Amino acid sequence: MPIAVEVQDLHFKYPDGHGALFGVSLRIETGERVALVGPNGAGKSTLMLHLNGILQGEGAVRVAGRALGNGNLGQVRATVGLVFQDPDDQLFSPTVYEDVAFGPLHMGLALDEVRQRSQAALKAVGMEAYGPRVSHHLSVGEKKRIAIATVLSMDAQILVLDEPTAGLDPRARRGIINLLRGLPQTILASTHDLILVRELFPRMVIMDQGRVVADGPTTRFLADQALLEAHGLELP
């Protein structure tokens, strides 16, 4: 199986000149579940936006064995499902069904296949009955589920989730954790939720100030109070 994600010495500055990534390297095997943690401003979201080509910095990014940037963004975006922190950035159609069907429709699939994939994706996130609902009227937790369904319907093999449980009440948060637990895909998720990390992610990558400062087993890092404190992390 190809390596799911390979990032080598990635540097990125925003157009205003602000540096956000300073030589990030990361390798994720197919089927791995990796948590990306670190304080606000560490560069987590910026890194994630590179994994499906929304941002392009200097350095190499490969997903599922394919180098980004050779006019293959369509394929890359069908492989890497990026779920934004704010579901309102992801959902823009009048109804839930149209949001979930949007990706497969634009891949040029037959309507039957689009319908089948969309239903399956809604089922996978436990929202089968929500197709006709208005996306913008849903709760944040429901929107987050639908946002995940929009990448599942594309049959994404690599899920990149930016703070999937941020801003959720305890029940919605637990719902997302249970949903993620059951997904078979390779997952990279940024989060401040170290309980979530302990439950679902055997490997932790810690970023700070645009660099990867630690990468290893969650059990070891969560027991290392000095490491956690040094990077603004704390177990509740």
Binding site for ligand ADP (CB under 6 A): 14, 16, 18, 20, 38, 40-46
Q: Which of 56, 47, 49, 55 is nearest to 25 (CA)?
A: 47
Phi, psi for 186 (deg, rounded to 5): -65, 135
**Cα 133 from Cα 111, distance rounded (Å):** 20
Give yes or no for residue 72 binding Mg ion (CB under 5 A): no
The stretch near Mg ion (CB under 5 A) out of 44-52, 61-69, 108-116, 166-174 is: 44-52
User: Residue 96 or 233: which CB sits closer to Mg ion?
Assistant: 233
- Of the residues 45, 56, 72, 119, which one makes contact with Mg ion according to CB under 5 A: 45
How many of the chain's residues bind Mg ion (CB under 5 A)? Answer: 2
Strand order in the sheet with 19-28: 19-28, 5-13, 58-63, 66-67
Q: How far is the CB of 212 from ligand ADP (least distance, A)?
A: 12
- 3-state SS, one letter per residue, for 94-115: CEHHHHHHHHHHHCCCCHHHHH
Q: Which of 118, 114, 136 is nearest to 127 (CA)?
A: 118
User: Residue 45 or 93: which CB sits closer to Mg ion?
Assistant: 45
Give yes or no for residue 25 binding Mg ion (CB under 5 A): no
Give yes or no for residue 209 binding Mg ion (CB under 5 A): no
Q: How far is the CB of 42 from Mg ion (least distance, A)?
A: 8
